[in-house]
Amino acid sequence: MLLAAIAIHLARTHEELEIVQRLSIGMLIAVSLIQFVSQLCLNASLLLPLQACVTRLGFWELYLVRAGGFLAGSVVPVGGGLGVRLAYLRNRGLTYLDFTWATLLSNVLALGAAAVLGGLATGVLWMVAGRPPAGVLAVSAGVLAVSVAATAGFELLPRAARHPKLQRWPWLSATRSLRASRVMATWVFAYSLLRHCLNFVTFGLLMQSLSRGAGDFLAGGLIYALTSPIRMVNITPGNLGVAEWVAALVGRMLAVDVTTGLVAALAFRGVGLVGQGLGVLVGAAWLPIDKRRQQV
């Protein structure tokens, strides 16, 4: 339904689709490379907590497993991607508890990084263009509130698991032993923030190319920052349609017309897939070389 709505809207405003011609090949190549680096940062933020549970888990090994999970998640939202990763990592000795803890840790810190970036971008927009619309301030505050709540819940879970009434569930009570070191948490947060910054730049460049306005780079980046939480949970396969409409609606609050917002979001998805594909090619080429090197 959401994809059909996008198709109907673009068909009705086909004259406005001429803005697609403003996306030059050179700019698309540049943002695809930025997305490649963004994917590397995402992989690193997931690898650190997993390495605390699984020994000798390689960077490109995890990248390819994630890529397979992405394909599966595009067919079966949420369960597909998690199922592929868990099935592979279980063979490496990872427990369900370890996998859940590592996934939650990386996602909570990624949400916190998105809230920080969104707050900073909103503040910069306020200084540059005056007070943002009330809707933008509300969304920015909402992202921050969700981030604080998620962080607090994650921190309180091991303490709550000590309650005697929860001892009947060994899986839950075992969370008492799971703690991330300050160094690990800092690095995971740093990689997540860097990834969000790279995505901010990508969306900003796409929006600036489409609109060609002075403040469109900042507006595009802010649209990404405020909508990044919706990209973390797949409602539809790959959140296709959901992410695009949410980006268009947030863009509308920033005086970006709906067509431009949808085109920018679709282009962002496209260059993200290209960046991820580049990583798959590099990983597929590197793993055989690394395997031979270890056998020598």
Longest CA–CA separation in the chain, Å: 65
The per-residue pLDDT for 61 is 86
Query: What six digits make up the tokens of 68?
Result: 């397979």
DSSP state of 132: P
Find, among 139, 161, 158, the residue nearest to 223 by Cα. Answer: 139
3-state per-residue secondary structure call for 119-135: HHHHHHHHHHHCCCCHH
By C-alpha distance, which of 3, 73, 6, 20 is closest to 267? 20
Which residue from 143, 108, 92 is spatially nearest to 122, judged by alpha carbons?
Answer: 143
pTM, rounded to two decimals? 0.87
Q: Give average pLDDT by consecutive 10-residue segment, the chain, 296 residues.
A: 70 70 91 97 92 80 82 59 72 76 88 93 88 90 91 74 58 59 91 96 93 80 90 74 87 87 92 94 86 67
- CA 45 from chain centre, in angstroms, equals 11
What single letter denotes the amino acid at residue 57?
L
Q: Identify the pLDDT of residue 295.
A: 63
Q: What is the pLDDT, as a whole number, of residue 14?
A: 64
Please give the Cα distance from 14 to 101 (Å, whole number).
Answer: 47
Report CA torsion sign: 251, 252, 256, 258: positive
Which is nearest to 97 in space by CA: 135, 144, 52?
52
Domain residues of the chain, as ranges? Answer: 25-289
pLDDT on residue 240 = 77
